[in-house]
């Protein structure tokens, strides 16, 4: 039986067990990198840099982890903060609005268009909807990660979904199909 996250965290804290931390990184890397890819609108290189920074901050701040929340919730909160820091550091860029095709042709194009549509959302909306759907966090966990009231988190998710629905209307399957 593989050790739980709590066991591994304890081993890192008590003996600076690098192997235990490496296991935690391998276990959570996909979710953290996936979230950051969505937040960075599909920029894989930037997302990986931010994910690396996320795990480094997690290692340094592991004593601050309270076992009450899931470790993934705690890691996603750090990832979101790292992302926000990076957007503050980066010079504002004018993003060219790319036209979304009328009919998606394959899966990679759909992913690309979703990234474009996500890029038009406010960072908090983007994070909220990514956390709620792709990462399967509860609304309460989303609120904890974004450090906002539960009602605000629900509003962010609903608003983001409505914007995406409008933006990606071309993908909506017709009733004839």
Site of interaction with other proteins (CB under 8 A): 16, 18, 21-22, 25-26, 29-30, 33-34, 37-38, 48, 51-52, 55-56, 59-60, 110, 114, 129-130, 133-136, 161, 164-165, 168, 171-173, 175, 177
Dist CA 63 CA 85 (whole Å): 22
- Cβ distance to other proteins smaller for residue 55 or 91: 55
Dist CA 83 CA 79 (whole Å): 6
For residues 135-151, one letter each, b for 16 or more C-beta atoms within 10 angstroms of the residue's C-beta and e for the rest, the string is bebebebbbbbbeeeee
Least distance in angstroms from the C-beta of 101 to other proteins: 15
3-state secondary structure of 168: coil
Encoding tokens for residue 107? 């899966």
Least distance in angstroms from the C-beta of 161 to other proteins: 7
- Cβ distance to other proteins smaller for residue 99 or 172: 172
3-state secondary structure of 100: coil
- Cβ distance to other proteins smaller for residue 38 or 76: 38
Dist CA 101 CA 177 (whole Å): 19
Least distance in angstroms from the C-beta of 89 to other proteins: 18
- Cβ distance to other proteins smaller for residue 91 or 103: 103
Least distance in angstroms from the C-beta of 90 to other proteins: 21
């Amino acid at each position: 039986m593989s050790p739980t996250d709590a066991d591994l965290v304890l081993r890192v804290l008590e003996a600076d067990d690098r192997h235990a931390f490496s296991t935690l990184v391998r276990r959570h890397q996909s979710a953290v990198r996936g979230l950051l890819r969505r937040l960075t609108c599909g920029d894989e290189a930037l997302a990986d840099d931010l994910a690396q920074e996320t795990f480094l901050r997690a290692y340094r701040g592991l004593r601050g982890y309270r076992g009450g929340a899931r470790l993934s919730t705690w890691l996603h909160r750090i990832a979101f903060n790292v992302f926000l820091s990076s957007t503050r550091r980066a010079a504002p860029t004018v993003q060219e609005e790319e036209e979304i095709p009328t009919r998606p042709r394959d899966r990679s194009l759909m992913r690309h268009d979703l990234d474009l549509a996500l890029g038009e959302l406010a960072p908090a909306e983007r994070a909220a909807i990514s956390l709620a759907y792709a990462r399967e966090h509860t609304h309460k966990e989303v609120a904890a990660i974004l450090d906002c009231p539960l009602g605000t988190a629900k509003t962010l998710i609903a608003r983001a979904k409505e914007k995406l629905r409008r933006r990606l209307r071309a993908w909506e399957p017709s009733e004839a199909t």
